[in-house]
Structure 1
C-alpha cells in the first residue's frame, strides 16, 4: 500500500514539473577540468583513465529531478516512517534529556592553541568533517519500508557524515564530535541527495560508487571546500571518512576478463586519490574504512534470511563467480592492496595521515543472532544498514579512533552506548596509526 501511494505521488510530481534548462552541469565541467575524456556510452569496461559519456551531460539533470521527486515524496511522511522503524527495532531508542553523554567533554576538548602536528589532534580540534564513498554512507535505504523508497537517501543518519538531530536520537560520528566542538561544519544537516549542497554539505557519498570513482569525488570535495566561506582550507583541521569497495567486490571485479588489470586500475585510482587529497587539503586526517576479507563477506551472505537470499544475485552479481579461483584470488588480494597503499610513507606527514580501520571485520558474527543475520541492524532491502546499525557503527568507529578495539560478541556490544570509549588524561588524542590486520 505504501509503495502504491508513493508511486501516485511521484507521478503527480513529475506531471506538474515544468520543463526548463535546469542548473549548470557542474559535474561535466569538473570532469573536463581535471582531464576526463568524453566517450560514447558502452557497456564495455575501460582499463585505465577517467571517462564520462553523453549520458552525463544529457540525462543527469532529468535523473536528478526524478530521484529528488522520490526523495521528497517519501520525506513528506518522515514521522510515520520513523515510527514504523522504531516499532520494528531498526532505530536506536531515544536517550532521555536527563541522561548525560557517556564521556567527560572536558577531556579531549578543543586545544587552547590549534595543534601543528597531527599526532596532537584532539576530538575538539576537528573543524570540518567530510565523507566520500558509496551508499553505505549516503544513507541509502536506512528507513526504507518498500521497494520504491529503498533508494531514498537518509544522509543525515549516515554514521560517518550525518549530523541530523543529536546523539540522543541519531548516534553518528559528527553528532559525537559536535559535543566537543559546537562549531563543527561539513556534516549533512538533513536527508537529501548528494547534489543538494545546502543539505549534504561535505557528505559526498553516492550509491554505486566504486574505488575507481574516488579521484573525481576527491576533486568535488576540494571544490566544495574552496567555495565554502566557512572553511579555512589552510588553518582548519579536517576529518575525512572514506568507505568504499562493496561495489568493486560485488559487481565490478568479476565483470573484468582480466582481474589483474582490474586490481592495477584500482591501485592507480586509490593512490591517485590520496595524492590529490594530500596535495590540496592540508591538515587532513583520513578514516579509511576497509571492507572485510572476501571470505567474511561470503560468510555474511550465507547467513541472510530467505527473503534476502533471493536478492543476492541482484545486489551481488559476483557472488557465485567467486567459486572460480581466478576471481577468488583477486578478491583476496584486494584488501592487502588497499592497506599497503594507505600505509605508504608518502601519505604520512606532520599534517596528513591515513588511518585504516577494520571495524567491519567479523561482520558475520557481529550482526548475527543464533547463527542468522539479525534484521534489526539492516534496512528492509537486506543490503544497507538500518539506523540502529549506523548508530552501532558510529560507536565502534569512535572507539577505534581512540584506540584499537576488539569486537565483543555479546548483545551489549551491539547496543550504541555499551562499551563506549572516551578520551582520557593519558590518551586525549585521536589515533593516527592504522589497525593491524
Structure 2
C-alpha cells in the first residue's frame, strides 16, 4: 500500500474509532469517564489589564493587549478531539487550549479566553467553526508547511485582518502522530526530519506573516501512556489503534528516547533566536511534564480523554494556563503538578511577552517595561558597534575629535604668545627706548 493511501486509511480508521468511543463512552466502565464528562469551571481573572498607549513596532515590546489575531497549526489535539468524548461529532475546537474561544474565561480556560480579557476585539479563535485554526486530525510534522500556506492564504484573504499592522499570535503543536508511528518508519519520523518539517513552516510564516509571535510547543514523552494501560484494560485494548508504537516494551523504549530527541533538537533550533527579528519571534513552550505530574511520577488520567491519548477538558485547561504563564517567563517556569491546578500569572502593567531579546525576569526590581526597553536598546547598540561600518565611523569621529582638540591647543598657545609680545612692545615704547627689536626672532625679548 502506498504511503498516502496508508495515511488516508489511518485517518478514516481513527475517525471511526473516535466516533465509536463517543457513542459508547458514557456506558463504558472506564476509570476517568466521570472526569472527562465533567464541565470545566474556568477561573476568575483578577489581573490588571491594559494595552500599549501606541501600537508597538517591535515584537520585543509586545504586551498581551497588543495581540489582535490568534491562529493555530497542529493535529487532533488542536482540533479539540477528546474534549467532549460523548459528543465526538460536534466541533469542539472552540475549547482547544491554544485556539478555542467559544466560552468566557469563567467557563473554560484557553489562551484566547485569557487574551480576550485584554482585548475584547481579539480575532481568529475557534468558536464553533475553524476560523484561523488550520489543524486537522491525523496531521504530522510533514503537514506543517501545507498548514502554514493554508493559514497565510486564509489571513491574506480575510478583510478583518490587516497583515501589515495587526499583531498575530500563532501556536504550533504537533508530534503525537509522528511519535506514535515511528516504529513503522524510523527514518521518516527521525528527530532530524521532525525539526526540519517544523522549521520549514516557521520560515514560511516568517516570510509571509509580518508582526507575528509564534509559540512552538514541545511534545511530551508519549511512552508514559503505557502506565495508563497497565491500570486500565479499556485503554490497553484500544492502544494498538491510538498509538501502536508503544504497545511493545522495546518499541516504547525507542519512543521514549525519540521523544527526548524531539524536545532537545527542537530546543536547539529555536532557543538561539535564529528566527527572531524586530517584527517576528518564535518561542519554544515547554510542557513536557504534561501527564507525568503526580508525586509518584505516574500519569494523571483525569487529564486524558476517553481514548486515553488526547487531552480532556481538564487537560486543555491546564495546558492553556501553562502556556499563558510561559509567555512571561521565557519557558523557565516549571509546572510541577498539573493535577492540583495551575494558577495564572498576573504580569505587571506594561510587561512584555518573553522573546530572545526581551526578558521579563524582574531580577533588579525594575519594572518590566523599563528593564526590557533598556535591554533591547543595549542589545541593538552592541550589534551596531560590532558592524565594520559603524566601527569605521567611530574611528573617524575619534580622529576628528583629536584634531579639533589639537587645533584649539595650538590656537590658544599662539594667542597667548602674541599677547605677551605685544605687552613687551608697549613697555619699550612708553620708555622711549626705540631699539631695533626683532620681536619674533629673539626668544628672550631683549
TM-score over 0.5 for the pair: yes
Matches within 5 A, 1:227-242: 227-242=157-172
1:282 is aligned to 2:210: yes
2:292 partner SS: helix
Structure 2 match to 1:174? 112
> Which digits, 9 at most, give the CA deviation of each residue in 1:379-413, with x for residues without a partner?
2121211112211211111111111312233854x
1:163/1:259 Cα in 2 relative to 1: closer, same or farther (>3 Å)?
same
User: C-alpha distance in 2, partners of 1:298/1:411?
Assistant: 19
Q: Give every structure 1 segment of 4 or more consecutive aligned residues whose post-TM-superposition deviation is greater than 6 Å.
A: 84-89, 325-328
Residue 353 of structure 1 and its aligned partner are, at CA, apart by 0.9
Structure 1 match to 2:313? 387
Structure 2 match to 1:126? 67
User: C-alpha distance in 1, partners of 2:121/2:305?
Assistant: 32
Give the one of 273, 276, 279 matched to 1:351: 279
1:274/1:321 Cα in 2 relative to 1: closer, same or farther (>3 Å)?
farther
Does the 8 Å CA contact 1:215/1:276 hold for their aligned counterparts?
Answer: yes
1:429 is aligned to 2:352: yes
User: C-alpha distance in 2, partners of 1:357/1:322?
Assistant: 29
1:410/1:182 Cα in 2 relative to 1: closer, same or farther (>3 Å)?
closer
1:322/1:347 Cα in 2 relative to 1: closer, same or farther (>3 Å)?
farther
Residue 299 of structure 1 and its aligned partner are, at CA, apart by 2.7
1:88/1:279 Cα in 2 relative to 1: closer, same or farther (>3 Å)?
closer
User: C-alpha distance in 2, partners of 1:326/1:392?
Assistant: 28
1:222/1:232 Cα in 2 relative to 1: closer, same or farther (>3 Å)?
same
Does the 8 Å CA contact 2:80/2:93 hold for their aligned counterparts?
Answer: yes
Structure 2 match to 1:92? 40
Give the one of 298, 302, 312 matched to 2:223: 298
User: C-alpha distance in 2, partners of 1:189/1:118?
Assistant: 27
Question: For the pair shown, which has the larger CA radius of gyration, 1 or 2?
Answer: 2
1:93 partner SS: coil
2:244 partner SS: coil
1:395/1:345 Cα in 2 relative to 1: closer, same or farther (>3 Å)?
closer
1:277/1:322 Cα in 2 relative to 1: closer, same or farther (>3 Å)?
farther
Does the 8 Å CA contact 2:191/2:262 hold for their aligned counterparts?
Answer: yes
1:208/1:322 Cα in 2 relative to 1: closer, same or farther (>3 Å)?
farther
The answer for unaligned runs of 5 or more in structure 2 is: 24-31, 360-446
Matches within 5 A, 1:56-71: none
> Which digits, 9 at most, give the CA deviation of each residue in 1:308-328, with x for residues without a partner?
122222211111467268776
Does the 8 Å CA contact 1:188/1:202 hold for their aligned counterparts?
Answer: yes
User: C-alpha distance in 2, partners of 1:90/1:213?
Assistant: 33
Does the 8 Å CA contact 1:85/1:143 hold for their aligned counterparts?
Answer: no
Structure 2 match to 1:162? 100
1:180/1:370 Cα in 2 relative to 1: closer, same or farther (>3 Å)?
same
1:113/1:336 Cα in 2 relative to 1: closer, same or farther (>3 Å)?
same
> Which digits, 9 at most, give the CA deviation of each residue in 1:148-174, with x for residues without a partner?
x54654100001000002111111100
Give the one of 197, 200, 204 matched to 1:272: 200
The answer for unaligned runs of 5 or more in structure 1 is: 1-41, 45-51, 75-83, 191-198
Give the one of 83, 88, 108 matched to 1:142: 83
Does the 8 Å CA contact 2:145/2:197 hold for their aligned counterparts?
Answer: yes
Does the 8 Å CA contact 2:71/2:171 hold for their aligned counterparts?
Answer: yes
TM-score by length of 2: 0.68
Structure 2 match to 1:317? 244
Does the 8 Å CA contact 1:242/1:289 hold for their aligned counterparts?
Answer: yes
User: C-alpha distance in 2, partners of 1:298/1:188?
Assistant: 30
User: C-alpha distance in 2, partners of 1:362/1:101?
Assistant: 25
Structure 1 match to 2:46? 102
> Which digits, 9 at most, give the CA deviation of each residue in 1:343-384, with x for residues without a partner?
45541101111100112x223432x48765433322212121
Calculate the aligned-residue CA RMSD, in Å: 3.3
1:331/1:163 Cα in 2 relative to 1: closer, same or farther (>3 Å)?
closer
TM-score by length of 1: 0.69
Structure 2 match to 1:43? 2
User: C-alpha distance in 2, partners of 1:380/1:89?
Assistant: 9
User: C-alpha distance in 1, partners of 2:149/2:91?
Assistant: 22
> Which digits, 9 at most, give the CA deviation of each residue in 1:87-139, with x for residues without a partner?
866332266xxxx523112xxx2111111111110000001000100111110
